[in-house]
Amino acid sequence: MKTIGVLAFQGGVIEHVKKIEELGAKPQLVKKEEDLKGLDGLILPGGESTTIGKFLIETGLKDHILKLIYEGMPVWGTCAGAILLSKNIKNQGSGVLPLLSIVIERNAYGSQLDSFKKEVFVPKFNIGTECVFIRAPRIVEVAEDVEVLAELETPIAVLQKNILATTFHPELTSQNYWHSFFVENVVK
């Protein structure tokens, strides 16, 4: 059975845990270094990226997570998690875990009031998936070795080696395509 960690500082933690359980994998809440042991993959959920980044630094988890990702552990950042993984945040520098070769723009679709839900066709799944955007970032540039999995004018889901990022919240839908893709294809 695969064990998938969910960074548990804030955001859609419980929703990610439920999706992992639905797939028959074991969820592991991650709040401290010991929680990283034995993980097959790690999800960085949405929330407030600045706050999550501060917690990663204050708890010492930042360096441990970076080491594991460098060693090949699969990681998936949703919304704020995608910002944390970005090598370049437009007009702001880089994320706290800057390993994903993208340029991302915070709150690109507007405020909380501008949040929306949209069905987007995903060629890799050959199906439309429901996407929930809440104060979502926008990926404005990707490196050549970054695979774009889904687009809504600009990329909204990308994969680079062992790093998956989505600018939306798949944990807030009734579908499980993205969690299944992460557990079955990214986590090997």
CA–CA separation, 166 and 178 (whole Å): 9
Q: How confident is the model at residue 115 (pLDDT cuts 50, 70, 90)?
A: confident
| pLDDT at residue 185, as a whole number | 87
If you ran DSSP here, which 8-state letter would residue 14 be given? H
Active site (catalytic) residues: 79, 169, 171
Q: How confident is the model at residue 78 (pLDDT cuts 50, 70, 90)?
A: very high
**Would you tell me how many other CB atoms lie within 10 Å of the CB of residue 143?**
12
Q: Give me Rg for the CA atoms of the chain.
A: 15
| pLDDT at residue 91, as a whole number | 79
Residue from 136, 158, 162 nearest 149 by CA:
158
| pLDDT at residue 33, as a whole number | 96
Torsion of CA 3, 9, 11, 17, to 10 degrees: 20
Q: How many helices (H) and strands (E) does the chain have?
A: 5, 12
Q: How confident is the model at residue 51 (pLDDT cuts 50, 70, 90)?
A: very high
CA–CA separation, 78 and 33 (whole Å): 21
Task: For residue range 11-42, list pLDDT tens digits in order.
Answer: 899 999 999 999 999 999 999 999 999 999 99
Residue boundaries of the structural domains of the chain: 3-186
| pLDDT at residue 86, as a whole number | 97
| pLDDT at residue 18, as a whole number | 98
Q: Which residues define the annotated binding site for L-glutamine?
A: 47-49, 106, 134-135
CB 90 within 8 A of CB 103: yes
CATH homologous superfamily for the domain 3-186: Class I glutamine amidotransferase (GATase) domain (3.40.50.880)
The whole-model pTM stands at: 0.95
Task: For residue range 117-146, list pLDDT tens digits in order.
Answer: 999 999 989 999 999 999 899 999 999 999
| pLDDT at residue 187, as a whole number | 81
Q: How confident is the model at residue 116 (pLDDT cuts 50, 70, 90)?
A: confident
